[in-house]
Structure 1
Amino acid sequence: MNTALTYLNIAVFAMAGAIAREGIEHLTLFHGSFTESGLVWANFGGCIVMGWVNATNMFDNVAKERGVTKKQLPLFLGIGTGFCGSLTSFSTLMLEAFLYGANQNDSKLGYPNAGYGVQSVMSIGLINFGLSFVGLKVGHHLADLIPLPALSSKVERLLSSLIAVASVALFCIFIIFAGLWKSWRWWTYLGLFGIPGALLRWQLSKLNGKLPVGTFSANILACIVLAVCVLLQRGKMHSSSTQLVHSFLQCQILDGIMNGFCGCLSTVSTFVNEMYAMNYKRAYVYGFATCFVGFSIMVVIVGSFAWTQSLVSPVC
């Protein structure tokens, strides 16, 4: 029973997080914006919620009554692993850093020379991770500033059960909308592909010990899948202008995998929360190693194709 509730809570919160991330990116991306991407706001917001859910005392009584830790409660996992982990995205951040660094966006930027791309990569990393750490602390402060009453075991079970029912209902609705209304597929594919991404990340998190091997594996795997999908969506045939994927539906499915599955499989909120809990030496090593491997994957997979064949705008 508890396992089923956990799966369903993570699933519905993952759908909410993925859609919220995409919505925030659309709302905060506009001409003249200080930042050229809305992802920074999604990562910032996800880390605020992550900081709050880890610092709040709402789940303490439930954990004591059941003789478990907070991280074993379905509702806690839904908010932390499902929503926060899906609202933030490490793989998308690495792709964004590469595209700006290598000047491979749809609209080329007027860098004085290619070396200025290095500054873009550094600014994207510093702004995103800097604000993510700030967001985590803001979440801690919010938990202290606005203390909420502790939940009882019965209330937590009731809430997680209601959310589980909503998860099944939403899953069915999303499938129906994806099949009947083409205009909704952008969002329905995002939510549907986000579920397996978040659940796989949760399963991989069980590998975490003294070193967060599970989180590292999830972030790197997401980077690999995302890089391959970018090639399929934006690549073209050898010595021709024909795209590898020229069907609008196929392009939408790839977009669902990229922003849904990969976006929810990778996470910035958990990554930042883990570094915050480490001593500073280990945190720097873990953070640098993850970013180095993730960015290197983008350079090797996407870069090698972009610099030999070039990338084009996707059909969708």
Structure 2
Amino acid sequence: MPTGRWDGTQEKDTAGVRRHGDRLSSELERHSSLKDARDTVGADPPPTISQDTTQTASNEEKLTPGSKRPPALRRSHSRGGELERRASIDDARSLVSADRPPSEDENLPPSKVYHPFSPHVIALLMPASIFGALARVGLLALTTYDGREIFPLAWVQAAGCLVMGFAIGMKEPIGEFYGPLYTAITTGFCGSLTTFSSWQLDVFSSWLNTANSHRDWFRDVIDGLGKTIFTIAISLSAVTFGSHLAAVFGRYIPRLPPPPAWLRYTFTAASVLTYAAAYTAYFRMSPTFRHQATAAILFSFPGTLCRYILSIKVNPLLKLFPLGTFTGNAVGTALIGTFHVLQSTRSPPSPNACGVLQGLIDGYCGCLTTVSTFATEVKALTAGRAWFYVVLSWVTCQCLLLIILGSSYWAGDVRETVTCVYTT
């Protein structure tokens, strides 16, 4: 039974309680002084990543298997890992959506979202491919002259990447108006205006000095490296400049209401008829135009369609590597090397066959491969992945040309200059 008398044990407990209370008081005074000092300096700095990670690990060790994780602890994961995951997700989304019509991710209602293989999307690629191929052929002819300071393909890549960057910056308003128009501009026009295969062939021709310029092998290397470095720099800069123009001037472009159903079907029908007219132009116009333009526009849409299918079907297979674009550029470069060999044989084919080969080079290979989408994907990747993508694409295509063209040249069956004779 408890009594009113204090024994020795009670005195010891009382002393322990007093000591514990003294320690608590000193701790409270210390924390109060620290808080006053922080208030004097300013607001507390945010916790660093290492502090956040250490605190998370210590809290997780205190949790038992059956205990419930508090909400604050669930939000205190490593910020470095979270930022890396978010960057990876953003990179993957950017790569997958580069050629797709605007989707619900761009805050569009379902009524304005089109399936990637919608007839409206596919049909609008037809005239866009034709206009892109014609613009490339015309721009190359315009910028090819004696005494030029810039190689002609630089103008082509810069123009296509500039329009590409502007269209990407205007993706949301274009999607609000008519989603297939975005794919027609980016995949159809810009992808057909720029060309990866011709760029690689031009670089490889610099190694071999096929123009027979008066220079040594060291200048050949400088010429090839110059075309490589400046093409990449110009393309990336043009995409950035186009996006900047969209941010500055996009607000002044009036927003148009979506076209009604009858007008959408009119666009689709007119697009199909435009490509049908390419066959009429090829067979009915003078054969002298075949190697210059008509054969190129005939094979433009098949090249664009193959590239678009690769982008939609193959690109999502690897989240952080645009496998579809890489495949299209590699296959197109191998084909342009093969067609160039056929154009340079010692016994050239007939003029009609030469015109078809030139049409396959300018039309199919030029539209199957692209620099505008390539530059956009490089900008969407992190630095390490971007360098890996650029180097792998360049080395792969140069090796393909070395196998196809180099072996033919060194075997003596093919000349370094084109031997084809076109109809005049």
TM over 0.5: yes
Q: Percent identity?
A: 29
Deviations 1:69-128 (CA, angstroms, capped at 9, x unpaired): xxxx311111110000000000000001011221123xx1111x2232111110001111
Q: 1:13 aligns with which of 117, 123, 128?
A: 128
| TM-fit CA distance, 1:283 | 0.2
Unaligned runs of 5+ in 2: 1-113
306-315 or 265-274, which deviates more: 306-315
RMSD: 1.8
Larger C-alpha radius of gyration, 1 or 2?
A: 2
Find 2:271's aligned residue among 143, 162, 167. Answer: 167
Which of residues 358, 363, 382 in structure 2 aligns to 1:255?
A: 358
Instruction: Tell me what 2:315 maps to.
Output: 208
* 8 A contact 1:86–1:264 mirrored in 2: yes
Q: For the residues of structure 2 that align with 1:60 and 1:180, how far apart are their CA atoms?
A: 38
Q: Aligned residue for 1:187?
A: 293
Question: Which secondary structure state, in structure 2, belongs to the residue aligned with residue 146 of structure 1?
Answer: helix
- Counterpart in the other structure of 2:208: 102
Letter in 2 for 1:221: V
How much has 1:168 moved relative to structure 2? 2.2
Aligned position for 2:329 = 219
Alignment partners' CA distance in 2, 1:158 and 1:59: 19
Give SS of 1:153's match. coil
Instruction: For residue 184 of structure 1, report the CA deviation from its aligned partner.
Output: 2.7
Partner of 2:372: 269
Q: Tell me the secondary structure at the aligned position of residue 217 of structure 2.
A: coil
Distance in 2 between the 1:298 and 1:176 partners?
34
**Distance change in 2, residues 1:158/1:83 (3 Å):** farther
Match of 2:246 in 1: 143
Q: Which runs of 5+ in 1 are unaligned?
A: 64-72, 237-241
Of structures 1 and 2, the one scoring higher in RCO (CA 8 A, sep 6+) is 1
From 274, 289, 299, the counterpart of 2:392: 289
- Match for residue 163 of structure 2? 49
Contact kept? 1:12, 1:163, Cα under 8 Å: no
The 1:158/1:87 distance shift into structure 2, 3 A limit, reads: farther
1:134 aligns with 237
**Match in the other structure for 2:90:** none
Q: Distance in 2 between matches of 1:163 and 1:288?
A: 40
Relative to 1, partners in 2 of residues 1:96 and 1:160: Cα closer, same or farther, differing over 3 Å?
Answer: farther
CA distance in 2, matches of 1:191, 1:122: 31
CA contact (8 A) 1:9 1:160 kept: no
Question: Aligned equivalents of 1:256 and 1:128: distance in 2?
Answer: 24
Question: d(CA) in 2 for partners of 1:252 and 1:227?
Answer: 16
Q: Secondary structure at the match of 1:131?
A: helix
Distance 1:12 1:95 in 2: 27
| Counterparts of 2:265 and 2:239, CA distance in 1 | 28
CA distance in 2, matches of 1:171, 1:109: 41
2:285 equivalent to 1:177: no
SS in 1 for 2:229: helix
Q: 1:160 to 1:88 in 2, by over 3 A?
A: farther
Partners of 1:205 and 1:214 within 8 A in 2: yes
Does the 8 Å contact 1:18/1:260 carry over to 2? yes
Aligned 8 A contact 1:75 1:159 in 2:
no
CA 1:158 to 1:80, structure 2 compared with 1: closer, same or farther past 3 Å? farther
CA contact (8 A) 1:52 1:136 kept: yes
Q: Residue 315 of structure 1: CA displacement?
A: 1.6
- Report if the CA contact (8 A) 1:58-1:149 is conserved: no
Q: Which moved more, 1:143-152 or 1:93-102?
A: 143-152
- How far residue 161 of structure 1 moved from its aligned partner, in angstroms, is 4.1
Retained in 2: the 8 A contact 1:6–1:77? yes
Q: Distance in 2 between matches of 1:90 and 1:135?
A: 16
Alpha-carbon deviations, 1:146-172, whole Å to 9, x = none?
1223343336x6775444333222223
Structure 2 letter corresponding to 1:122? L
Matched residues, number: 295
The residue number in structure 2 matching 1:79 is 185
- TM-score norm. by structure 1 comes to 0.88
